[in-house]
Amino acid sequence: MQSTVRNYQYLILMIIIWGSSFAMMHECLVGGHFSPEQTVGYRLAIGSIVLLMACIYCRKAFPKSLTPWVHFFIYAVIGNIVPFMLISRGQMHITSGMTGLLMALVPLVTMVLAHIFLPNNALNRYKIIGFILGVSGVFFILAPSINDGNNTLFGILLILGAAASYASHGVVVEKFPKYDPIVAATCSSILACFLAFLIWPDMIYLNLDGVPLKTSLNMLALGLFPTGLGALIFFNLINNTGAVFLSNMNYAIPVYAFILGTIMLGEPVLWQNILALVLIVFGIFVSRIKV
């Protein structure tokens, strides 16, 4: 019983941590104090330190053969670099609440990719209906969101690209051999960090002059919690409960992120956004129905 309660406590913490990441990114990007590239690189650097410390504490050894590192490099690209960059770029054109809402499509896109690339994951009528509901939610927000001046089609497409990247990452992890979760998270995060600074070398020259304390604290929190601590809790829950239990957060994260953006950042709410949120979350629920 105590273990079950603890798992639910971790799940709630996971929802809060990941659901808050979009508001944190908004605070880092607003005013141009951090560029999208810097937001990606610095959060990866801070998160990598957290994960490396966890590896050292747990006395985990890194792989000595090449194949695991190739796999970790692929994880780094499609699970960190690409989605982090697309989200950072996208949030310059749409609100944090809208970002969280659109990211709710990850499990639905994963479902379609799993049908194509993974055995024993065929689509059924409930999965198809759930996917149609989720996509319908996106269509409901496209036109009014663009016209309200806070969101653009370009920003929405970038976030949808990030959702597709996260979904691809999940399928690839399922296809590849299983690795120690802490080691996999740490190695892929470190590789992503090095890759980010290799792609955008100007990030090395960090200048915090003129950067508000609030913005700097949000950057620190973004690296410590969603990027570092969030990965540790995620893999801990995967080990203890499995992916089915963890999938429950897919219902709550978009709702939490949307409400947080409204309350903390004063982002506007349209009735189309509420309807889209209901459709997407209900689509996820329907897709989970067992035949």
Q: What is the pLDDT of residue 247?
A: 65
221 phi/psi in degrees, rounded to 5: -65, -35
Which residue shows structure tokens 């699970």? Answer: 79
Full 3-state SS string of 5-23? HHHHHHHHHHHHHHHHHHH
HSE, side-chain direction, 13 A CA sphere, residue 57: 9
Walking along the chain (291 residues) 10 residues at a time, the average pLDDT comes out as 76 90 91 89 95 93 95 95 95 89 84 84 86 82 63 88 90 86 92 95 84 93 93 78 66 84 83 81 83 67
Q: What is the pLDDT of residue 272?
A: 76
What value, to the nearest 5°, has the Cα angle with vertex 211 and ends 208 and 212? 135
d(CA 209, CA 196): 23
CB atoms within 10 A of CB 86: 23
**Rg of the chain's alpha carbons, rounded to an integer?**
19
Q: What is the pLDDT of residue 2?
A: 54
Question: Environment class of residue 265 by beta-carbon count within 10 Å: exposed (0-12), middle (13-18) or buried (19+)?
Answer: middle
Q: Give the closest residue to 24 by CA, choosing from 87, 86, 107, 83.
A: 87
d(CA 18, CA 225): 8
**Spans of all domains in the chain:** 2-287
Read off the pTM.
0.88
Tokens of 62: 């890194």
Q: Give the closest residue to 196 by CA, choosing from 36, 67, 55.
A: 36
Give 33's contacts (C-beta < 8 A, 6+ positions apart). Answer: 210, 211, 212, 215
Query: Tell me, what DSSP letter sits at residue 164?
Result: H
Give 282's contacts (C-beta < 8 A, 6+ positions apart). Answer: 133
